[in-house]
Amino acid sequence: MTSVKICGVTTPAALIAARRGGADHVGFVGKEGSPRFISPGECTALSQQADGLIRVGLFVDARDEEIRPYLGAIDVLQLHGNESPARAAELQGRFGRPVWKALGIRSARDLDAANAYRDVAELILFDAKPPEGAALTGGHGVRFDWSLLDGWPRRGAWGLAGGLTPANVGRAIAATGAPLVDVSSGVEEAPGEKSAAKIAAFMEAVKSL
């Protein structure tokens, strides 16, 4: 089965829904200003209930001192900003956590950026570029044209994000062959408010393939 990451989890109820649904990863957002932001203390308390889920901390152009308080609660660093390959390698070496790099995609040219991260990122996450003028790099519920991935060489671990919902995740996997899908706003009632029912529906849609 395609792996699933439920991102932007902020409550025990959402974490329990992800775990019961059979998700593989759970994401905690360490970017202040996001409706899904969770403080280091809250993240630590919540992560103790993960029970086998791989815990991913999402950061956007964060300084070392912003990441360090989360380290006891996360297994993976997801970089969702303009971090260079050198910065990704630096963080992996300094903090001893695998690095995922999210890349915003709008055109085929955007896929070229993945090549620079192949040797430093454990996984490349293809996400939709945010709308023009958006303050945040993700969580907007928009998707990119999945057919752009048709010519991309499938080397190394990768995943698909951006605008995924229970209604379209099956088509997304069929169209791209994504080995991992990442959902946040697509399983929410409102920004930052996860729906247990939508998480369950998303997981069912993936399991049914």
3-state secondary structure of 136: coil
Gyration radius from the chain CA atoms: 16
CB 179 within 8 A of CB 122: no
Please report the domains of the chain, with CATH numbers, ordered by start residue: 3-195 (3.20.20.70)
- Its sign, for the CA torsion 90, 76, 61, 42, is negative
- Model pTM greater than 0.85? yes
**Confidence at residue 138, expressed as pLDDT on a 0 to 100 scale:** 52
Measured CA to CA, the distance from residue 153 to residue 87 in angstroms comes to 24
- Residues in Cβ contact with 168 at an 8 Å cutoff, skipping those fewer than 6 apart: 143
Note down pLDDT in tens along the chain; length 209 residues. 899 999 999 999 999 999 999 999 999 999 999 999 999 999 999 999 999 999 999 999 999 999 999 999 999 999 999 999 999 999 999 999 999 999 999 999 999 989 999 999 999 999 998 766 545 555 557 899 999 999 788 778 999 999 999 999 999 999 999 999 999 999 999 999 999 999 999 999 999 99
Measured CA to CA, the distance from residue 158 to residue 177 in angstroms comes to 10
Measured CA to CA, the distance from residue 27 to residue 24 in angstroms comes to 10
Q: Which helix (H) or strand (E) holds 128?
A: strand 123-128
Strand partners, 175: none
What length is written for the chain? Answer: 209
Measured CA to CA, the distance from residue 194 to residue 209 in angstroms comes to 24
Round to the nearest angstrom and report the end-to-end CA distance of the chain: 8
Measured CA to CA, the distance from residue 36 to residue 34 in angstroms comes to 5
Structure tokens at 109: 């040219």
State the maximum Cα–Cα separation within the chain, in Å, rounded to a whole number. Answer: 43
